[in-house]
Amino acid sequence: MKVLSISSQVVWGPVGNSAAVPALQAKGYEVLALPTITLSNHPGHGAPAGFRTQAEDMARMFAALEALGALHNLDAMLTGYFATTGQVEEVAGLLGRVAIPFLLVDPVMGDHGRLYIPQEVAEAIRAHLVPRASCLTPNAFELAWLSGHDVTDEESAIAAARALALPEVLATSVPSRDGLATLLVTPDAVHRIVVPKLAKVPNGTGDFLSGLYLAERLGHAPQQAFAAAMKTLSRAIALSTGITVLNVAGALHGS
């Protein structure tokens, strides 16, 4: 299988493509990884150095890949962090030209009650990508922002997910009586896994889960993919206790 993954790329500390791509490659998929931004590290570890992929450069890369036939017969696309509205528009244009059987949109926009990307970029994601998604993987804040519904518990998260009218919504960090819930909401079912809320979890868990879920989903039904992805994510978190970066490699290799 062949997957196009468009998100951030960091040198140290797996987030964005650095977290999602290994999850896909571990299943033997061919992954075409295109960075929207390249950084030395996640901003949570300190001020990064790096550069954005300009929209016109992204357009030229798409054109070159299309001319080579590299984007023929894609099985899926994953989108994550975007730095500019132009990037979102270029991806939307590509979706209009290239057949994508499964589109997973990870709406990397914000958390803890606020957007951390410019509002116009978030609005572009909502307008151009979310309606096309086969699966959306928001955290609780992103789910609320995209749906226009408050998300304060599992019940409200399910209502917000259903309001988006998408085939699959995988909502993370949803407040629950017993900790934090991860919910897979489809039109006819809800699957939930609840874990205790931990004091500190390394960055990148959402990006890793998106890659894990897509890797499993391409060969399995939603419920099976959800269970398998969450099992690997839990292993990564357990292996990362006391360190500042997510242990993606250890989780994927079962060590």
Give the Cα separation of 35 and 215 in Å (integer). Answer: 19
Strand partners, 30: 2
Tokens of 197: 């809320």
pLDDT tens per residue across span 105-126: 999 999 999 999 999 999 999 9
The alpha carbon torsion through 27, 28, 30, 36 (nearest 10 deg) reads 40
Positive or negative: CA dihedral 145, 33, 62, 8: positive
C-alpha pair distances (Å), 68 with each of 4, 76, 187, 224, 226: 15, 18, 38, 35, 35
pLDDT tens per residue across span 23-44: 999 999 999 999 999 999 988 8
Taking Cα atoms as reference points, which of 169, 155, 157 lies closest to residue 213? 169
Query: What mean pLDDT value characterizes the chain?
Result: 96
**Confidence (pLDDT) at 202:** 87
pLDDT tens per residue across span 172-186: 999 999 899 999 999
Stated as kind and residue range, the H or E segment containing 2 is strand 2-12
Q: What are the structural domains, with CATH classification, of the chain?
A: 2-252 (3.40.1190.20)
Give the Cα separation of 226 and 144 in Å (integer). Answer: 21
Q: What angle is formed at CA 153 by the lines to CA 110 and CA 79, rounded to 5 degrees? A: 35
